[in-house]
């Protein structure tokens, strides 16, 4: 594998770690330790899917990192694409949990 693939793998795995940490903290603040009138802003399903997708993406990014250092390049690229798709879905559910499906900010045309 090339040094560029390894660098991409390391950078994206680090980003996945921070994204999963952010999802965990966000879920905890909005759903578990809330001060508002309603836990999860009334959108618990979106927040749970957001947290689950971020953890699935973290596992996928871990395998991608593994294949960046040891393994066929095809597996690295396939997991890279899969992790990017999962994190795009994570952003969608984070947006839906925060703003609701009718008021999406990141993907406004989907609402």
Tell whether the model's pLDDT for residue 37 goes beyond 90: no
Instruction: Measure the CA–CA gap between 20 and 26, rounded to whole angstroms.
Output: 10
What are the structural domain ranges in the chain?
Answer: 3-106
The model carries a pTM of 0.88
> Quick one: what percent of the chain has pLDDT higher than 90?
68
Yes or no: say if 65 and 10 are a contact pair by the CB < 8 Å rule: yes
Coil, helix or strand for 70?
A: coil
Tell whether the model's pLDDT for residue 46 goes beyond 90: yes
Instruction: Measure the CA–CA gap between 50 and 106, rounded to whole angstroms.
Output: 14
Residue 109 has what pLDDT? 83
pLDDT band at 110 (very low <50, low <70, confident <90, very high): confident
Tell whether the model's pLDDT for residue 93 goes beyond 90: yes
């Amino acid at each position: 594998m090339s040094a560029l693939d390894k660098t991409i793998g390391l950078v994206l795995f680090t980003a996945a770690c921070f994204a999963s940490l952010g999802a965990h903290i966000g879920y905890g603040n909005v759903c578990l330790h809330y001060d508002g009138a309603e836990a999860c802003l009334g959108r618990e399903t979106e927040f749970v899917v957001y947290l689950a997708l971020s953890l699935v993406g973290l596992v996928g990014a871990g395998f991608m990192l593994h294949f960046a250092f040891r393994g066929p390049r095809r597996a690295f690229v396939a997991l890279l694409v899969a992790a990017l798709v999962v994190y795009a879905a994570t952003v969608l559910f984070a947006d839906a949990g925060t703003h609701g499906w009718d008021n999406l900010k990141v993907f406004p045309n989907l609402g």
